[in-house]
């Protein structure tokens, strides 16, 4: 299991929030990850002190440091055999589960090889072993893949496509025996399958947990179904990588409440996997992070405090809020920020003119998301040093 972009301060954030929420003695509450803690990892890549997710995942999948942006290749640019590929060759079932696009850096590094993580069209074909002259996908692809990113499997020109070519990878996969899913209802109905399973429940990344999109399965549900599918597939055993991908993306936006809820969903997923491991012999659970994102600090100069209660009433991600604002008539944005975004989405009933203006005047989606996150962070007394990654252990 990989909690992308989840640093030690993020664990402290979620733990303190839960301690604040519980009726029991606050200091006695610990998370599942607290109870499992063994140590830390040094996260740097082969060419920089601050890794990206591609090099981080390649270190996990190939057991060697690589270059930022590299997917399943060595620092010298050569493909490196991954633990998932080794498991497949040894007769184990294999799976990938993520809340990101299935072709995104972390899952890709276990089942594809590319010098640039942005080569997602190529990665999609590699993950299904659909390269020209490739063997039947039912024999050689990953057995179960669940997540988002359907757009890289559809031909250019179709409504949901983001491919740069006319290849219909989705139809090619179906023609070669892959069982495809696009809805949560289809996933719920799937008990077992002798075919490879490709379930992509969104055009791009899946929705944030805080936004409550019930049409898409949460990480815990996808993990539970993958475990059942893989364990019923072969008596040999299985390898499964599960990624809480959007922990990282919320931190890139410096969006604390969204970051928090992605962590809580990751914890729920760890519990699902831990329960499975406890009732299944010879099964190992490892949970780790690839790097820290955002440079989160619990406390903000000059006070020695932070306020977990500020995060409780937040019910929308900065991403979803800004998507709505971008679709709002410009003359109505200020009114919506003051009378909808602040009280309904962020739980702020006494917004200042400065807080409203910071969001209204933000140019573009990225700056809007950061502005929304800053309003909540400032009130909670949380700090962020970057919108990127850090080199922390």
Which residues are known to be catalytic?
A: 53
CA–CA separation, 153 and 287 (whole Å): 29
**DSSP character at residue 310:** G
Residue 286: partners with Cβ closer than 8 Å, 6 or more residues away: 1
Nearest-Å Rg of the Cα atoms of the chain is 21
CA–CA separation, 235 and 110 (whole Å): 22
User: 337 in helix, strand or coil?
Assistant: helix
CA distances from 29 to 18, 21, 268, 320 (A): 8, 10, 16, 32
Output the six-digit token pair for 325.
């604002």
Select from 311, 313, 249, 253 the least CA-distant residue to 3.
Answer: 249
CA–CA separation, 390 and 176 (whole Å): 42
Select from 354, 335, 361 the least CA-distant residue to 343.
Answer: 335
**DSSP character at residue 205:** S
User: 384 in helix, strand or coil?
Assistant: coil
């Amino acid at each position: 299991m990989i909690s992308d972009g989840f640093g030690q301060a993020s664990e402290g954030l979620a733990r303190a929030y839960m301690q604040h929420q519980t009726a029991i003695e606050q200091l006695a509450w610990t998370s599942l990850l607290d109870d499992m803690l063994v140590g830390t990892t040094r996260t740097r890549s082969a060419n920089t002190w601050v890794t990206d997710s591609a090099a981080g995942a390649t270190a996990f999948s190939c057991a060697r440091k690589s270059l930022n942006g590299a997917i399943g290749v060595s620092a010298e640019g050569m493909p490196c055999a991954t633990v998932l590929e080794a498991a497949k060759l040894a007769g184990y079932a294999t799976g990938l589960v993520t809340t990101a696009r299935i072709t995104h850096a972390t899952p890709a590094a276990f089942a594809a090889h590319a010098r640039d993580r942005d080569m997602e069209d190529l990665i999609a074909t590699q993950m299904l072993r659909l390269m020209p002259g490739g063997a039947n996908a039912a024999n050689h692809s990953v057995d179960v893949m669940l997540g988002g990113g359907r757009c890289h499997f559809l031909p250019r020109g179709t409504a949901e496509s983001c491919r740069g070519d006319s290849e219909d990878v989705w139809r090619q996969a179906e023609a070669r025996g892959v069982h495809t899913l696009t809805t949560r209802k289809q996933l719920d109905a799937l008990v077992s399958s002798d075919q490879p399973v490709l379930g992509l429940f969104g055009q791009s990344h899946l929705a944030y947990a805080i936004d409550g999109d019930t049409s898409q399965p949460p990480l815990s549900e996808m993990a539970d179904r993958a475990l059942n599918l893989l364990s019923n597939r072969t008596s040999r055993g299985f390898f499964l990588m599960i990624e809480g991908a959007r922990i990282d993306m919320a931190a890139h936006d410096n969006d604390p409440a969204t970051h928090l809820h992605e962590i809580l969903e990751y914890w729920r997923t760890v519990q699902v996997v831990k329960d499975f491991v406890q009732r299944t012999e010879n099964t190992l659970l490892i949970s780790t992070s690839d790097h820290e994102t955002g440079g989160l600090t619990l406390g903000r100069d000059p006070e020695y405090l932070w306020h977990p209660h500020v995060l409780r009433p937040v019910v929308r991600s900065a991403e979803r809020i800004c998507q709505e604002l971008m679709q709002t008539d410009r003359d109505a944005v200020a009114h919506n920020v003051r009378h909808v975004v602040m009280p309904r989405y962020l739980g702020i009933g006494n917004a200042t003119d400065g807080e409203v203006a910071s969001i209204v005047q933000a140019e573009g989606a990225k700056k809007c998301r950061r502005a929304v996150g800053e309003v909540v962070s400032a009130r909670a007394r949380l700090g962020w040093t970057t919108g990127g990654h850090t080199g922390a252990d």
